[in-house]
Amino acid sequence: MPIERLILAVPACAIVAAVLCAHPATAAPVEEPHSAKESLLWSRLRERVVAVEQGLDGVLGVSVKDLGTGATLEVRPEETFPQASSIKLAVLYELYRRADEGDLDLQETTSPPSPRAGGGGVLELLGDRARLTWRDLAVLMVGWSDNDATNAVIDRLGSTAVNRRMDELGLPETRLRRRMMDVEAARRGEENVSTPREMRRLAEAVYAGAGLKPGLAGDLRAVASVPKHSAFEVALPAGVVVAGKTGYLDGVRCWSAVVAVPDRPYSVAVMATYLRRDADGEAAIRDVATAVHETLDRLGRSSDLGRGLRD
């Protein structure tokens, strides 16, 4: 999708029509920024994001939504990207939906699969007799991006069930096709994929605990918000709650989350592929994260006229 398709404060009726055609079961109105002053700030944010996109030796996708007003900014929102570990958000959501349905108990203990897949995390360092609850595995999967914890959960749930749940959410391009660290499956083209818009919407569903009882919804949000040592979240101030997941593969970098800025929470998905240098992809996502946060945080701490009011 060309950069000219970047969406910013399009008239609401046009966006609603497009969303209804794409996802008739889950469509919701998308509004413009509230005022001309806000529109100006969004326009300048757009310029910053475009500059990052044009300066990257790779392909960048972005989807950002102000959860207060519904204003959006997108670059290649419907383009399919590899998700690396960001797909773990889909696995996490299915785990909690199955717990809500009574199919499993999050406090039940299990042993991770052996031999270990490796590739980072905690479980690869533990013995075969280690036993953890499904909730423990969820925390390791999201907070430490533990691949063995993820594979244990995938084995329990099944990829077909995860994908069916994504269909229920209206996210047909979000597909779990393989376990973590399965290089042979990746070579066969069985990559875990999604689009910027769908991953943003998935992050929103996780943060809201969509379809869950209040207690489980709150716990899902807490697990998704476990502090992470992310190369992208360093762009955000300390103490900001971030419910999401990063992803890293050779030539690929991803980040999808809800950032709970006081009075102006926003959802964001930024992903890069075909990277000539992985470090450039990380820098691009950090630059987008910084630009988005600075804009939404400024709006959140200001009055309708722009006076700063937050302590």
CA distance 247 to 87: 8
Q: Report which DSSP code applies to 302.
A: B
- For residue range 196-223, list pLDDT tens digits in order: 999 999 999 999 999 999 999 999 999 9
Mean per-residue pLDDT, 274-299: 96
Q: Map out the domains of the chain as residue ranges.
A: 3-300
Which has the higher per-residue pLDDT, 85 or 306? Answer: 85
Which has the higher per-residue pLDDT, 45 or 127? Answer: 45
pLDDT at 47: 97
Collect all residues with Cβ–Cβ distance below 8 Å to 26 and sequence separation of at least 6. Answer: 169, 170, 201
Task: Please list the residues that pair with 268 across neighbouring strands.
Answer: 64, 257
Contact between 139 and 89 (Cβ < 8 Å): no
pLDDT at 198: 98
| Whole-number percent of the chain with pLDDT over 70 | 85
Determine the number of helices (DSSP H) and then strands (DSSP E) in the chain: 10, 10
- Which class would CATH give 3-300? alpha beta
pLDDT confidence tier of residue 99, bands split at 50, 70 and 90: very high
pLDDT at 284: 97
pLDDT at 269: 98
CA distance 84 to 256: 11
pLDDT at 124: 74
pLDDT confidence tier of residue 231, bands split at 50, 70 and 90: confident
Structure-token pair, residue 49 = 């994001």
Strand 109-110 relative to strand 193-194, pairing: unpaired
pLDDT at 49: 97
Which residue has 């000219």 as its token pair? 4
- For residue range 1-54, list pLDDT tens digits in order: 444 334 333 333 332 333 333 333 333 334 455 688 888 999 999 999 999 999
pLDDT confidence tier of residue 232, bands split at 50, 70 and 90: confident
- For residue range 154-180, list pLDDT tens digits in order: 999 999 999 999 999 999 999 999 998
Taking the chain, what is the end-to-end CA distance rounded to the nearest angstrom? 42
pLDDT confidence tier of residue 305, bands split at 50, 70 and 90: low
pLDDT at 222: 98
pLDDT at 33: 59
Mean pLDDT of the chain: 87
Say if residue 293's pLDDT is above 90: yes
Say if residue 186's pLDDT is above 60: yes
pLDDT at 14: 32
Collect all residues with Cβ–Cβ distance below 8 Å to 95 and sequence separation of at least 6. Answer: 104, 106, 134, 138, 153, 156, 157
Amino acid at 237: P
* CA distance to 40, 198, 301, per residue, from 14 (Å): 20, 19, 30
The burial of 14, by beta-carbon neighbours within 10 Å (0-12 exposed, 13-18 middle, 19 or more buried), is given as exposed
pLDDT confidence tier of residue 310, bands split at 50, 70 and 90: low
User: The pTM is what?
Assistant: 0.87
